[in-house]
């Protein structure tokens, strides 16, 4: 006697597997718009002095062993705050466009992880300082997990369609090394 799955379970599994690549594309594009909005906001609402203040404030109340980290970043950003502000804003816009259009996804995801970690560790103060009443670890660390989820989703689902990468890969097989985590 063979065991059969309940009809509802088969339908759910089939719906997910049938739509996994579409959901992955929607997730990637939506996350790209988040980065685009964030990048635009850097140009519209922040002044270079705001960036220096953000880093100085993030260093307040941190453990003494983190003081050299924050001193380095305060002096680095203070020396050319405009370049840092608009450089990060431009980088966020580029990340947003690469996500929306699906261009150089592997490089984009790895760069996004790095930028998210830097934002979390510099502007957000690693989500700290931690103590009684601390309940937030910062938003940028969540972006790292979103990128990891995108990598996992694209590695398991056929999410290559609806990307500029797929168009370029038709002409250049080498491009796949830049754009894909899978073979």
At 67 the pLDDT is 92
Q: How far apart are CA 26 and CA 42, in angstroms?
A: 25
At 9 the pLDDT is 52
Q: How far apart are CA 71 and CA 73, in angstroms?
A: 6
Residue 29 confidence class, pLDDT cut points 50, 70, 90 = very high
At 18 the pLDDT is 67
Q: Which residue has the higher pLDDT, 79 or 4?
A: 79
Residue 181 confidence class, pLDDT cut points 50, 70, 90 = confident
Domain residue extents for the chain:
29-127+136-179
pTM of the model: 0.84
């Amino acid at each position: 006697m063979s065991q059969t799955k309940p009809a509802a379970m088969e339908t759910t599994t089939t719906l997910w597997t049938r739509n996994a690549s579409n959901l992955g594309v929607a997730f990637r594009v939506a996350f790209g718009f988040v980065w685009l909005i964030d990048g635009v906001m850097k140009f519209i609402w922040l002044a270079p002095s705001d960036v220096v203040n953000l880093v100085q404030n993030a260093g307040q109340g941190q453990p003494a062993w983190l003081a050299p980290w924050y001193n380095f970043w305060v002096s680095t950003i203070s020396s050319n705050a405009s370049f840092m502000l608009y450089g990060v804003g431009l980088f966020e816009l580029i990340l947003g466009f690469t996500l929306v259009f699906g261009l150089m996804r592997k490089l984009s995801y790895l760069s996004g992880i790095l930028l998210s970690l830097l934002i979390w560790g510099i502007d957000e103060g690693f989500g700290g300082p931690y103590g009684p009443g601390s309940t937030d670890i910062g938003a940028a660390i969540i972006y790292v997990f979103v990128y990891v989820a995108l990598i996992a989703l694209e590695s398991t689902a056929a999410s290559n369609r609806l990307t500029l990468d797929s168009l370029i890969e038709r002409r250049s097989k080498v491009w796949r090394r830049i754009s894909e985590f899978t073979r």
